[in-house]
Amino acid sequence: MDHAADAHRTDLMTITRFVLNEQTKHPESRGDFSILLSHIVLGCKFVCTAVNKGEDQKKLDVLSNEVFIKALVSSGRTCILVSEEDEEATFVEPANRGKYCVVFDPLDGSSNIDCGVSIGTIFGIYMIKDGHEPTLDDVLQPGMNMLAAGYCMYGSSCTLVLSTGSGVNGFTLDPSLGEFILTHPDIKIPKKGKIYSVNEGNAKNWDGPTSKYVQSCKYPADGSSPKSLRYIGSMVADVHRTLLYGGIFLYPGDKKSPNGKLRVLYEVFPMSFLMEQAGGQAFTGKQRVQFLRILSALDLVPEKIHERSPIFLGSYDDVEEIKKLYAAEEQN
Ligand SMILES: O=P(O)(O)OC[C@H]1O[C@](O)(COP(=O)(O)O)[C@@H](O)[C@@H]1O
């Protein structure tokens, strides 16, 4: 191997090094974010090992939640935690308190565990406003206000995808080092994709725009090739494929569940944040036009911590199509 290749192979960009580098662009930063992130990373490594050991679903759900709550509290950098597993938000006691709020789903898609489908942890990070007692309003903020978001996918390898608001980067766990190494720098989603991803089992209850959109994926009116359906039913895996290959992921509302299934704070927002940072779009179909601008999913202001919302996210052009169909319905 020549010297240049060798230097590249030995110059390991770990996630910690990467985030510390990014933080040097913010002179006011005191390293708190890097410390918080290292605790999230620790949780991900633990869950990755537990998933690989093949523990049963119930146990893994509870275990993952406990690990993340304890890692986040002990970081000393958090004040409010919202987990999919806990009905109430956790307010960190003053002695351990920091300025960050973390919203997370410790093990999303866990109903798929027993058949070996990839599952993951999803998280989003907000900051409280200076000098006031933390309240639920600190986490009931639009996704636009998130400082960072990411997911870790536990599959054939363990991949952590992160955005701190300046692009999206992917890191793969090197088990021999126990470190996440940058393997997917500056991820950009293709502008248009060939795949759509939706649970067609709910088709009979969809609204007009969703039905028309899916129909147009199968039978494009302009004579272009149809899109292929790929649906795993595990959000992290479906969104990861969408991010890398392009296309669209849909979990629409329907007659039975007008707000769909997915949760705003720790599913819809973090994934929408990543999509927009990668050059794609995210749209709820509900938040529509304001000041002549069609709203992004990140404009939604949640009223409850476990609120749900329909979501359409992915390649820029593909999401543009569904936005047009909703806009047309609005005018009728
Ligand atoms: O089975 P459906 O209705 O298509 O739902 C699939 C969605 O449900 C989820 O598995 C979340 O549900 P759980 O919280 O029950 O794991 C997502 O990961 C996935 O996108």
Dist. CA 13 → ligand 1 center (Å): 33
Cα–ligand 1 centroid distance for 194 (angstroms): 23
Does residue 1 surpass a pLDDT of 60?
no
CA dist 187 and 209 (Å) reads 30
Is the dihedral angle over the CA atoms 97, 25, 17, 104 positive or is it negative?
positive
Q: pLDDT at position 67, please?
A: 98
Rounded CA-CA distance 305/136 in Å is: 8
CATH level 3 topology of 195-331: D-Maltodextrin-Binding Protein; domain 2 (3.40.190)
pLDDT digits (tens, 9 = 90+) for 296-326: 999 999 999 999 999 999 999 999 999 999 9
Q: Rounded CA gap, 47 and 62, in Å?
A: 11
Assign 87 a pLDDT band (cuts: 50, 70, 90): very high
Query: ipTM of the predicted structure?
Result: 0.95
What pLDDT score was predicted for residue 297?
Answer: 94
Judged on CB neighbours under 10 Å (0-12, 13-18, 19+), 26 is: exposed
Q: Is the domain covering 7-184 a CATH 3.30.540.10 domain?
A: yes
Which pLDDT band holds residue 30 (cuts at 50, 70, 90)? Answer: confident
Mutate to test the pocket of ligand 1, among 84, 85, 108 (most ligand atoms within 8 A of CB): 108
How far, in Å, is the centroid of ligand 1 from the Cα of 156? Answer: 20
The residue contributing the CA closest to ligand 1 atom 12 is 109
**Are residues 243 and 252 in contact, defined by beta-carbon separation less than 8 angstroms?**
no
Give me the residue spans of the domains in the chain.
Answer: 7-184, 195-331
* Paired tokens of 172: 């793969």
Q: Looking at per-residue confidence, does 74 or 114 come out higher?
A: 74
In this prediction, residue 328 carries a pLDDT of: 86
Mean pLDDT for 225-232 is 96
The per-residue pLDDT for 288 is 61
**Residue whose CA lies nearest to ligand 1 atom number 6:** 233
> What six digits make up the tokens of 319?
């999401």
Residue 12 has pLDDT above 90, yes or no: yes
**pLDDT above 70: percentage of residues in the chain:** 94
Q: How confident is the model at residue 177 (pLDDT cuts 50, 70, 90)?
A: very high
The pLDDT of residue 226 is above 60:
yes
- The DSSP output letter for 314 is E
Nearest CA to ligand 1 atom 5: 233
Distance 235 CA to ligand 1 centre (A): 6
Which pTM was predicted?
A: 0.95
For atom 3 of ligand 1, which residue has the closest CA? 199
* Lowest-pLDDT choice from 24-33, 161-170, 276-285: 24-33
Atom index in ligand 1 nearest the CA of residue 234 equals 18
